[in-house]
């Protein structure tokens, strides 16, 4: 296979060797594209690799007819329209760990520069002034650093700040007082943090909930003379409110690496002597750039060649050990979904996926995704994939429920997929037989033992002498060979089923003839 890869932001050349070494990968590096030029070109590419500069908007994604993966060499994916990518089934991956250290070091560099006014003093000296009066700083020792967002970078900053003998108070929705104690910091609400801190550093992603988290009200609650550092994302701090808070003297200084609008060359905040800034350089080290480029390149290669990724952003991932347990069931769950897609009539309204036995102990979301993919694929075609299956189900108004139970009816693990429509519900159960692969072991309430592959024929009939013979005769007349056949019944003379494996698809005419036979209620061809 040949793959076309576009790199549209500067990535470390040393870090993209996995792409350069992969067979059949043609790499185009073009870091000067305008949005219009990118929109015009993107249709040729299977993968797009970016940093924070390229804006991967819905308009770009709509033109990306061949795009399968977007790799973000870094953490923040706010420059990528994730819903648009998900809708189109394009996976987005990032490199979440590679720049943590660099961003934390940059934050500490900003903190120290701010406290000691190093950039301002340097600037003055460059302008030929030997000024030892204006640039009086403050010590950070024994001061309180408030950390808002205590993830990878926030925690690394805290460790380093403690090395400077600062007290650290942190807020994060995932932080508990116990965790905070273990990490050697004080725990607080966001309000506690901003009230207690002499320096505040922000380390959250830019989300709906964090946009302007640090606003006029937040500034009002802070200590007089507080100093602010933002090496996370512009937009988390309301820049107008910060400007006013600096002018009023509430905020003594701010160190900013990120801004609401980037890039720029003129900014109102930079007219203030209390503000120091860098042009989004938190991750700009040789080491970080090499690691993030390597991580994202490996994910792009392994996704395009094997369908596997390590750092998906728009796809829930499970730990490696869990993946090893559930991976053998991937095909089976897709086949169960696909089986039901043929068996049910009318639009599905609800899909219930029950994991029984051993499987109930694991995070089975990738399996559920496969079941939904199988259900939708036969109607919507190949555009349904792991990334958009759940989104498409939501859009179609299909509720997806995942259930778990230890009771597995004698099987080590049993997966039951039930689809409800306006007219009723159908269900099918499957398992893996040691060394023999997947088996369908139940259809509705009938026990069967069928390999879920090839052409199947599911027939509901009345348990009467001659019914099976008539089906066999008719299929013979249609030139269809029966490979295997199983029968089951609820009671003597009651409802019964035939589950046949046949050698070719039964055409509509053949199905009509089958349905017209005496004692036959229904016949459904299932192609897996």
Ligand X SMILES: O=C(O)CCC(=O)C(=O)O
Ligand Y SMILES: NC(=O)C1=CN([C@@H]2O[C@H](COP(=O)(O)OP(=O)(O)OC[C@H]3O[C@@H](n4cnc5c(N)ncnc54)[C@H](O)[C@@H]3O)[C@@H](O)[C@H]2O)C=CC1
Query: Can you give the binding site for ligand Y, defined by CB under 6 A?
Result: 74-76, 96, 99-100, 103, 148-154, 171-174, 190, 203-206, 209-210, 213, 231-233, 257-258, 280, 282-283
Return the beta strands (E) in 12-77 as ranges: 25-29, 47-50, 69-72
- DSSP 8-class letter at 116: H
- CA pair distance 208, 227, nearest whole angstrom: 25
The answer to whether residue 352 forms part of the interface with ligand X (CB under 6 A) is no
The least CB distance from residue 50 to ligand X, in Å, is 8
- CA pair distance 394, 15, nearest whole angstrom: 38
Residue closer to ligand Y (CB basis): 46 or 172? 172
- CA pair distance 131, 126, nearest whole angstrom: 11
- CA pair distance 40, 37, nearest whole angstrom: 5
Instruction: Exactly one of 59, 62, 240, 262 is catalytic; name it.
Output: 262
- CA pair distance 229, 166, nearest whole angstrom: 15
The least CB distance from residue 78 to ligand X, in Å, is 8
User: Which option in ligand Y, ligand X, none does residue 51 bind, with CB closer than 5 to 8 A by kind?
Assistant: ligand X
The least CB distance from residue 285 to ligand Y, in Å, is 10
Q: Could you identify the residue written with the tokens 């070719």?
A: 504
- Per-position x/- string for 207-236, each x denoting binding to ligand X as judged by CB under 6 A, each - no binding: ------------------------------
User: Which option in ligand X, ligand Y, none does residue 172 bind, with CB closer than 5 to 8 A by kind?
Assistant: ligand Y
The answer to whether residue 284 forms part of the interface with ligand X (CB under 6 A) is yes
Residue closer to ligand Y (CB basis): 150 or 199? 150
The answer to whether residue 148 forms part of the interface with ligand X (CB under 6 A) is no
Contacting residues for 212 by C-beta, under 8 A, at least 6 apart: 235, 236, 237, 238, 241
- Per-position x/- string for 87-106, each x denoting binding to ligand X as judged by CB under 6 A, each - no binding: ------------x-------
Instruction: Give the total of residues touching ligand X (CB under 6 A).
Output: 10
- CA pair distance 221, 395, nearest whole angstrom: 43
The least CB distance from residue 53 to ligand X, in Å, is 8
- CA pair distance 115, 455, nearest whole angstrom: 73
**Pick from 308, 320, 313, 280: which is nearest to 99 by CA?**
280
Q: What pairs with residue 502 in β-bridges?
A: 455, 482
Among 7, 38, 48, 75, the residue binding ligand X under the rule CB under 6 A is 75
The least CB distance from residue 330 to ligand Y, in Å, is 28
- CA pair distance 120, 113, nearest whole angstrom: 9
Among 18, 71, 76, 438, the residue binding ligand X under the rule CB under 6 A is 76
Q: What angle do CA 59, 95, 158 make, to 5 degrees?
A: 120
The least CB distance from residue 288 to ligand X, in Å, is 8
User: Which option in ligand X, ligand Y, none does residue 205 bind, with CB closer than 5 to 8 A by kind?
Assistant: ligand Y
Residue closer to ligand X (CB basis): 76 or 253? 76
The least CB distance from residue 148 to ligand Y, in Å, is 5
Instruction: Exactly one of 51, 280, 439, 442 is catalytic; name it.
Output: 280
Residue closer to ligand Y (CB basis): 89 or 188? 188
Cis peptide before 210 (omega within 30 of 0): no
The answer to whether residue 51 forms part of the interface with ligand X (CB under 6 A) is yes
The least CB distance from residue 290 to ligand Y, in Å, is 15
The answer to whether residue 438 forms part of the interface with ligand X (CB under 6 A) is no
Do residues 445 and 464 make contact, with C-beta atoms less than 8 angstroms apart? no
**Pick from 511, 509, 510, 507: which is nearest to 524 by CA?**
511
**Annotated catalytic residue 106:** no
Instruction: Exactly one of 51, 106, 203, 233 is catalytic; name it.
Output: 233
Per-residue tokens: 93: 């991956």
Do residues 396 and 377 make contact, with C-beta atoms less than 8 angstroms apart? no
**Annotated catalytic residue 203:** no
User: Which option in ligand X, ligand Y, none does residue 149 bind, with CB closer than 5 to 8 A by kind?
Assistant: ligand Y
**Annotated catalytic residue 439:** no
User: Which option in ligand X, ligand Y, none does residue 100 bind, with CB closer than 5 to 8 A by kind?
Assistant: ligand Y
- CA pair distance 390, 110, nearest whole angstrom: 42
Instruction: Report the site for ligand X in 308-327 (rule: CB under 6 A).
Output: none
Per-residue tokens: 501: 């494996």
Cα 268 from chain centre: 37
The least CB distance from residue 284 to ligand X, in Å, is 6
- CA pair distance 513, 301, nearest whole angstrom: 51
Residue closer to ligand Y (CB basis): 6 or 236? 236
The answer to whether residue 80 forms part of the interface with ligand X (CB under 6 A) is no
The answer to whether residue 293 forms part of the interface with ligand X (CB under 6 A) is no
Residue closer to ligand Y (CB basis): 156 or 198? 156
Cα 342 from chain centre: 30
Cα-trace Rg, the chain? 30
Among 283, 313, 336, 432, the residue binding ligand X under the rule CB under 6 A is 283
Name the percent of the chain in helix, strand, coil, to the closest 5. 35, 25, 40
Residue closer to ligand Y (CB basis): 153 or 432? 153
> Which residues of the chain form contacts with ligand X (CB under 6 A)?
51-52, 74-76, 99, 280, 282-284
Indicate which residues carry an active-site annotation. 233, 262, 280
């Amino acid at each position: 296979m040949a793959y076309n890869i576009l790199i549209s932001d500067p990535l470390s050349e040393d870090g993209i060797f996995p792409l350069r070494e992969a067979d059949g990968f043609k790499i185009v590096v073009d870091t000067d594209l305008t949005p219009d030029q990118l929109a015009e070109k993107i249709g040729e590419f299977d993968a797009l690799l970016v940093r924070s500069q390229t804006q991967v908007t819905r308009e770009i994604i709509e033109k990306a007819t061949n795009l399968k993966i977007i790799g973000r060499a870094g953490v923040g994916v706010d420059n990528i329209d994730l819903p648009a990518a998900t809708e189109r089934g394009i996976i987005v991956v990032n490199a979440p760990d590679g720049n943590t250290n660099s961003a934390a070091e940059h934050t500490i560099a900003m903190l120290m520069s701010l406290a000691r006014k190093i950039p301002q003093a340097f600037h003055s000296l460059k302008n030929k002034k030997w000024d030892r009066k204006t640039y009086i700083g403050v010590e950070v020792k024994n001061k309180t650093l408030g950390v808002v967002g205590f993830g990878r970078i926030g925690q690394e900053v805290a460790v380093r700040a403690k090395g400077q003998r600062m007290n650290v108070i942190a807020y994060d929705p995932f932080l508990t007082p116990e965790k905070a104690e273990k990490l050697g910091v004080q725990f607080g609400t966001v309000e506690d943090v901003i009230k207690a801190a002499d320096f505040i550093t922000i380390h959250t992603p830019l989300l709906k909930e964090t946009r302007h988290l640090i606003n006029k009200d937040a500034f009002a609650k802070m200590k007089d003379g507080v100093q602010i550092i933002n090496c996370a994302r512009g937009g988390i701090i309301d820049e107008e409110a910060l400007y006013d808070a600096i002018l009023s003297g509430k905020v003594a200084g701010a160190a900013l690496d990120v801004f609401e609008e980037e890039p720029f060359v003129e900014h109102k905040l930079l007219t203030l002597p209390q503000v120091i800034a860098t042009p989004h350089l938190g991750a700009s080290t040789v080491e970080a750039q090499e690691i993030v480029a390597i991580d994202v390149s490996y994910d792009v290669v392994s996704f395009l060649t094997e369908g596997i990724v390590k750092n998906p952003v728009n796809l829930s991932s499970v730990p490696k050990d869990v993946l090893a347990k559930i991976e053998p069931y991937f095909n089976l769950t897709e086949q169960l979904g696909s089986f039901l897609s043929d068996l049910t009539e009318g639009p599905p309204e609800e899909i219930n996926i029950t994991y029984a036995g051993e499987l109930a102990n694991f995070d089975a979301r990738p399996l559920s995704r496969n079941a939904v993919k199988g259900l939708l694929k036969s109607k919507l075609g190949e555009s349904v994939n792991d990334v958009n299956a759940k989104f498409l189900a939501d859009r179609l108004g299909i509720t997806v429920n995942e259930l778990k139970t230890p009771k597995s009816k004698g099987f080590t693990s049993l997966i039951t997929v039930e689809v409800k429509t306006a007219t009723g519900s159908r269900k099918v159960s499957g398992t893996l037989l040691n060394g023999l692969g997947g088996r369908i072991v139940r259809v509705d309430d009938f026990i069967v033992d069928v390999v879920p592959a090839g052409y199947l024929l599911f027939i509901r009939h009345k348990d009467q002498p001659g019914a099976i013979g008539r089906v066999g005769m008719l299929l013979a007349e249609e030139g269809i060979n029966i490979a295997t056949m199983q029968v089951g019944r609820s009671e003597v003379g009651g409802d019964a089923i035939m589950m046949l494996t046949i050698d070719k698809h039964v055409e509509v005419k053949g199905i009509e003839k089958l349905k017209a036979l005496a004692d036959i209620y229904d016949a459904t061809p299932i192609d897996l």
